[in-house]
Chain A
Amino acid sequence: MSDGLELDRITKRFGTREAVSGVSLAAKDGEFIVLLGPSGCGKSTLLRTIAGLEAPDEGVIRLAGRDITHREARDRDIAMVFQSYALYPHMSIAENIGYPLKVRKRGQPEIAREVEHVAARLGLTSLLKNLPRQLSGGERQRVALARAIIRRPKAFLMDEPLSNLDARLRVEMRAELKHLQHELRIVTLYVTHDQAEAMTLAHRIAVMRDGRVQQYDTPSNVYHRPANTFVAGFVGSPSMNLIEDPGSNVTLGIRPEDVELSRTEQSGWTQARVYVTEEMGNETLVVLNAGAMRVTARAGAGSLFDFDAPVWFRFRPDKIHRFDRGSSLRLPD
């Protein structure tokens, strides 16, 4: 019925263990979707199910309006980038990139032309004759991308593609990846446990936990209106303060940047003592103890507080999130 990718109540079990439980997601054509969640929550399993590398126990997968649930992986027209890159060690870079076309029996001249084109776009032209083992991690990553985009598949799947790169390269590739996806306009499912990657790359984020989708929404809504305490605590760094309100059945959530601090007493504010100060360069994190409560606040760069110094704080009233303690779901504002 629609373009794009649609998952309808996908469940995947390994023996009795449910790795993916009734996941439903719809991604529009050209959309960049990030699956975000802690390790072991079933992200890879879900991705492999979509790729056709695992068969779902229940549910339907539709791509570009067609039911592909029972199709062979090779007939799905989906490209995947693996965390390990999975390049073919015995083939040159040019052969690696051109392989999907060769399998499809395209002519040599066409393959050569396409490989050159894609290689130029990803800055691999000078490496075409090399073998994968002669390349650095970042270069291998590009080759894996080149091999994925050369045949313009109907969907891209990426399983933590940047996690083997060092921090600087990761940020660089992240930007490149985002631009590339924007140009290609091919629906992309991207798996990561890194919330910064999720926030920066995604049109929409699906936050997962224990095989279930907790929230499927834009980065801004996931950040500003987390659907439950798990999402609230998982997205954002440092994490949101979650405080049990002793008088009610409500858990309060407040982000560190929404905690106001003062060195002097203010009426209506709570007194606390500084537990530790963490200087981050562009900001300072101040961890406070107020009775049994521990709160992290974000202060300006260069703010210095001594250990155990007395401070006063309050939560910005319009920034407080409320969650039901029993169900851990967000309460209406």
Chain B
Amino acid sequence: MKTALKYAAAGAALLIAIAPVYWLVTISLKREIDQFAYPPAWFVFEPTLEHYSDAFRGSFTAFFLNSVTLATGSTIAALLVGVPAAYGLARFDWPRNWNENIAGWILSTRMLPPIVTIVPLFLMLREARLLNSLVGLTIVYTAFNLPFVVWMMRGFFDEVPREIEEAAMLDGETAVGVLLRIVLPLVKPGLAATAVFCLIVAWNEFLFALILTQTESAMTLPVGIASRVTQYEIKWGAMSAAGVVAMLPVLIFASVAQRYLVRGLSLGAVKG
């Protein structure tokens, strides 16, 4: 009886989560005439791939590449800056116990709603001539992901037994060598999970991309897809097809993240 209830609850949750995705996928495969059929054609319709070719005909490919560049670039940048920062906070004693203050300060930048920073960001990027550019967006996304990287990685570094690092120092390793050859391999699951989170955040981000890019040259997928809503028509089929393609990388990231998350967060991975 209990199990039945559990399955029923899980089933309901699954249904709620899957329904919009199912809708999206079916719309992307339906001819226009079936899209608006009433009652809706839930399961039976004549599939077509025309919306996919339609989607790819426009600037979709460029948007896709923009998103890939942006997500990868900002994730790498956030890791390059955030990982050493996190290690510094986890391992070196700052004067007057400032570790906690600095860490709290970094986290606090995530406490305000992102939208409140949009006007200063817009003005700063305009002054720097970085509006409508991937570089500008990369900087913004990096800044956005940085606190997250620092906090996640600091937690993982804290779990590495200090004596292992001290043993490496006595074995003749430099501080940078300890980080690169001893500590990073040990927190690899955590590093991977952090990277995947950054990738997903950057990939899905809509608001900043919408406001900071007005021309197609630096437009990302979410913005590009939304731009299919025009004054005159809404291309449901092409939008859905683009949506499905945009979803795929996230699905892949997420499944990778899942594997590493379990390992990264259960710390047996680090302890001998």
A104 beta carbon closer than 8 Å to chain B: yes
Does the CB pair A132–B169 fall under 8 Å?
no
Q: Which residues of the other chain, B, contact A305 by a CB distance below 8 angstroms?
A: none
Whether a CB of chain B sits under 8 angstroms from the CB of A122 is: no
Residues in chain A near residue B170, CB distance under 8 A: 51-53, 73-74, 76, 78-80
Q: Is the CB of A86 within 8 A of B164?
A: yes
Q: Which residue of B is nearest A84, CB measured? A: B163
A132 to B168, CA, bound (A): 15
Give Cα A143 to B23, complex, Å.
59
The one of B166, B172, B177, B271 in contact with A89, judged by C-beta atoms closer than 8 angstroms, is B271
* CB of A100 within 8 Å of the partner chain: yes
B163 touches A100 (CB 8 A): no
Cβ of B109 within 8 Å of any chain A Cβ, yes or no, is no
B161 at the interface (CB under 8 A from A): yes
Hey, which chain A residues are within 8 Å of B163, CB to CB? 82, 84, 86
Residues of B within 8 A of A85 (CB): 272
6 further contact pairs, Cβ within 8 A, besides A88-B168, A140-B272: A72-B169, A74-B170, A76-B170, A82-B166, A84-B161, A132-B272
Q: Which of A62-80 contact B (CB under 8 A)?
A: 72-74, 76, 78-80
CA distance A140 to B163 in the complex (A): 15
A82 contacts B167, C-beta separation under 8 Å: yes
Q: Mark B161-201, 1 if CB is under 8 A from A, else 0.
A: 10110111111111001000010011000000000000000
Interface residues on B, range: 10 to 19
Chain B residues, Cβ within 8 Å of A231:
none
Residue of A nearest to B171 (CB): A100
Contacts A103-B177, A133-B272, A140-B272 hold; do A89 and B171 have CB atoms under 8 A apart? no
Q: Does A90 contact B (CB under 8 A)?
A: yes
Contacts of B106 in A (CB 8 A): none
1/0 contact trace for A117-161 toward B, CB 8 Å? Answer: 000000000000000110000001000000100000000000000
Name which residue of chain A comes closest to B182, CB basis: A88
Rounded to whole Å, the gap between the CB of B142 and the closest CB of chain A is 29
Q: Which residue from chain B places its CB closest to the CB of A135 in the assembled complex?
A: B272
Interface positions of B (Cβ within 8 A of A): 161, 163-164, 166-174, 177, 182, 185-186, 270-272
24 A-B pairs within 8 Å (CB atoms) are namely A52-B169, A72-B169, A73-B166, A73-B169, A74-B170, A74-B174, A78-B170, A79-B171, A80-B166, A80-B167, A85-B272, A86-B166, A87-B272, A88-B164, A88-B168, A88-B182, A89-B164, A89-B270, A90-B186, A99-B168, A100-B171, A103-B172, A133-B271, A140-B272
Q: Which of B169, B171, B270 contacts A147 (CB 8 A)?
A: B171
Chain A: which residue is nearest B164 at the CB level?
A: A86
Residues of A within 8 A of B186 (CB): 89-90
Minimum distance in angstroms from B155 CB to a CB of chain A:
18
* Interface range on chain A (Cβ under 8 Å from partner): 20 to 34
Least distance between A108 CB and chain B CB atoms (Å): 16
In the complex, are the beta carbons of B272 and A89 less than 8 A apart? yes
Once the chains are docked, how many angstroms separate the CA of A53 from the CA of B166?
7
Q: Give the docked Cα–Cα distance between A82 and B271 (Å).
A: 15
B161 touches A74 (CB 8 A): no
Whether A53 lies near B171 (C-beta < 8 A) is no
Distance in angstroms between the alpha carbons of A72 and B176 in the assembled complex: 14
- Shortest Cβ distance from residue A151 to the other chain B in the assembled complex, whole angstroms: 8
Q: Are B270 and A99 in contact (CB under 8 A)?
A: no
Q: Which residue of chain A is the closest to B271 with respect to CB atoms?
A: A89
Once the chains bind, are A53 and B272 in contact (CB under 8 Å)? no
Q: Which of A33-76 contact B (CB under 8 A)?
A: 51-53, 72-74, 76
CB neighbours (8 Å) of A103 from chain B are: 171-173, 177
How near does chain B come to A236, taking the closest CB pair, in angstroms? 32
Of the residues A52, A53, A74, A89, contact of B173 by C-beta under 8 Å:
A74
Residues on A with C-beta less than 8 A from B271 are 89, 133
Chain B residues, CB < 8 A from A80: 166-167, 170
* Set of chain A residues within 8 Å of B182, measured between Cβ atoms: 88
